[in-house]
Structure 1
């Protein structure tokens, strides 16, 4: 019985063992997006499963970390390898924002942002696009589904991936590496 369970787990996890380069090729991030340049990309793996590939775009003349610290234009694109229930995404986002102490005073806008989420399907592409003076757009598969002019909301939400105590220190370090 133990052998059968082990074999079943191995068969289910084989797709999770694709190397990072293969996963990034699958995500197919362009070198430029919305007039910004691809700075870094990485894969988020939880336990043994690749969840999504992330790509960070910033202005050509700035490093990724510099753009984040100076609150310049940024675009974070997530390409999902797995189906994920929207409620699980919202729960993880809220837990991270709470841990970062970044959600104070943002509850109404966070609720509006989260209301625009849908269940994620493998192959979906979510993007957070921030521009100073314009604010934050959330795109799902190329369509803007939420906009806010609140720079504090943009900083807090991008911080889920880019600020300390976020979803993954390893992913953060790879995305902000200059």
Structure 2
């Protein structure tokens, strides 16, 4: 069998990509457990979002130890989504991607209700630098919290905002169905 250069590169990339993903997850260095209010949440799943062969960020999903990730999302239980960025991204590009996704996921009536809440959250965004760590945490009593590099920037008790904004990553038709499926997979 004759292997062309393109086939050889494709095979090498196919073999190297899982290893690169594992290396990226080690770089992200997600902790095994986080504290949210009085609840200890454990790392359920992690994955790397790759766009056009470029690793953009690693994502980790946390929920209560005895809770499946999909159940935590569906039943609005305590949860945390953490993103570790490998690339610099302009604030405007992040906001644009968020709105494109929200518009794909929600009807006009819901979007109008969300607009002032999302705009308030977006006011706390800054240009992302490689190595930045953002987190969205949800607690049923406290609502949604946005953190950047361990600092709390924003909090909202509105359950619609929490569900919609976490849904950018965790609901159908979000940024990446593959990422969503991997973050919410049951590992029993």
TM-score (norm 2): 0.84
Q: Contact 1:53–1:78 (CA<8 Å) still a contact in 2?
A: yes
Which of 39, 42, 57 is 2:44 aligned to?
A: 39
Give a deviation string over 1:11-36, Cα, whole Å, max 9, x none: xxxxxx66110000000000001221
Superposition pairs for residues 129-140 of structure 1, below 5 Å?
A: 129-140=137-148
1:103 matched to which residue of 2?
111
1:5 matched to which residue of 2?
none
2:91 matched to which residue of 1?
86
1:26 matched to which residue of 2?
27
Decide which structure has the larger Cα Rg and report it. 2
- After TM superposition, give the deviation of residue 133 of structure 1 in Å: 1.5
Runs of 4+ in 1 over 2 A off after TM superposition: none
- 1:144 aligns to 2:152 (yes or no): yes
Unaligned runs of at least 5 residues, structure 2:
1-16
- After TM superposition, give the deviation of residue 91 of structure 1 in Å: 0.1
Give the Cα separation in 2 of the matches to 1:40 and 1:25: 13
Give the Cα separation in 1 of the matches to 2:111 and 2:145: 18
Give the Cα separation in 2 of the matches to 1:31 and 1:104: 38
- After TM superposition, give the deviation of residue 109 of structure 1 in Å: 1.0
Give a deviation string over 1:132-170, Cα, whole Å, max 9, x none: 011000000000001100011000000000000000000
Q: Between Structure 1 and Structure 2, how many residues are aligned? A: 163
Give secondary structure in 2 for the equivalent of 1:121.
coil
